[in-house]
Amino acid sequence: MAEFTAKDVMKLREQTGAGMMDCKKALVDADGDFEKAGELLRERGIAKAAKRASKIAAEGIVYALVEGKTGVLLEVNCESDFVAKGEKFHELVEKIAKQIVATKPADVAALLATVMDGETVETYIQAQTGVIGEKISVRRFTVYETEGFVETYIHMGGTMGVMLDFACEETAEHKALAHDVALHTAFSKPAYLKAEEVPAEVLEKEKAILTQEVINEGKPAAIAEKIVLGKIKKFYEENCLLDQKFVKDDKVTIAQLIKTAGATGSLKKFVFYVMGQGLEKKSEDLSEEVAKQVEAMKK
């Protein structure tokens, strides 16, 4: 076997953009042949994936998976809506979701390091980036392990997702209730489950803003505090899921809805993702998008 040095590894890394370990393995497999190592990286999709590292992955889907007592809400991003709707991308997302259920990693970095079918998730994604032709990235995920049951709702094919943890028995009535609460959550987008969960700093900031607002309206200082307390109650009603008015019946709150179903106190937590929220989207003209779709059809 031909020998190679650390400088060779660094040179290959600079030329391909692939990771150090991938470059070293390619040189080993190529018996030190620099050009062959570069070809191996391309064949494995790693060099192609690395070249796309600077691209913006601002499309994608939110995906939910429940297996037994474990639920996962996951967001995986790609570069175009066309790819996000494709079968290969959906297969990738489902496979990653199942890996999360199986390994329950602490975060994205831990997930990428887990081994799936003899390779790390990170290596698998790099290879699929080469196959699919776009940068793919796991943005975030949440895992719930429940004593009761997990309810999920995915809106419009993955533009948004909701997951709730109910501690009660999984009866038909409770499942119907959970579905209604999931739909409500997707519509109203609460920030907290209940008033007690609002951080003190958030509450103090809100009170300060409301107090100044009342003062600016010319209200006497003596009654300003009472007015602010009333406004804080309204803040809870707008931002805390259990205090919100049910979207299908504004005469009852979510807490009252749950009580009526005989499941008081059973909703332990919730999470919702809006796909791509906060990510910058890459602009493309029509001709570029059509060319990309034609190229994808050839694969």
Q: What is the count of structural domains for the chain?
A: 2
Q: What is the pLDDT of residues 130-152, one digit of tens each?
A: 888 888 999 999 999 999 999 99
Same domain for 169 and 63: yes
> Is 161 found in the same domain as 17?
no
User: Does residue 180 sit in the same domain as residue 91?
Assistant: yes
> Is 239 domain-assigned?
no
**Do residues 23 and 93 both lie within one domain?**
no
Where does a domain end: 15, 34, 51?
Answer: 51
Residue 176 falls inside a structural domain: yes
Is residue 219 domain-resident? no
Same domain, yes or no, for 155 and 291? yes
Residues 26, 85, single domain; the answer is no
Find the helix packing angle between 6-16 and 20-29, rounded to 10°: 110
Q: What is the pLDDT of residue 33?
A: 87
84-98, 218-232, 240-254, 264-278: the lowest-pLDDT one: 218-232
153 and 291 belong to one structural domain: yes
Is there a domain that residue 1 lies in?
no
Q: Is residue 217 part of a domain?
A: no
pTM (two decimals): 0.74
Distances (CA, A) of 286 to 77, 111, 283, 289, 290: 21, 36, 10, 5, 6
Tell me: do 19 and 104 sit in the same domain: no
Does any domain span residue 128?
Answer: yes
Q: pLDDT tens digits, residue range 234-267?
A: 999 999 999 999 999 999 999 999 999 999 999 9
225 lies in some domain: no
In this structure, what CATH number is given to the domain that contains residue 27?
Answer: 1.10.8.10
Residue 134 placed within a domain? yes
- Domain span including residue 90: 59-191+272-276+286-298
> Which residue is it, tokens 């032709």?
133
My answer on whether 64 and 155 are in the same domain is yes
**Residue bearing tokens 């709730």:** 164
Same domain, 95 and 165: yes
pLDDT tens-place string over residues 155-207: 998 999 999 999 999 999 999 999 999 999 999 999 999 999 999 999 998 88
Residues 291 and 148 in one domain: yes
- Dihedral pair phi/psi, residue 220, rounded to 5°: -60, 140
pLDDT tens column, 20-70: 788 888 899 888 888 888 878 766 766 555 555 556 567 999 999 999 999
The CATH number of whichever domain residue 115 belongs to comes to 3.30.479.20
Question: Do 47 and 104 fall into the same domain?
Answer: no
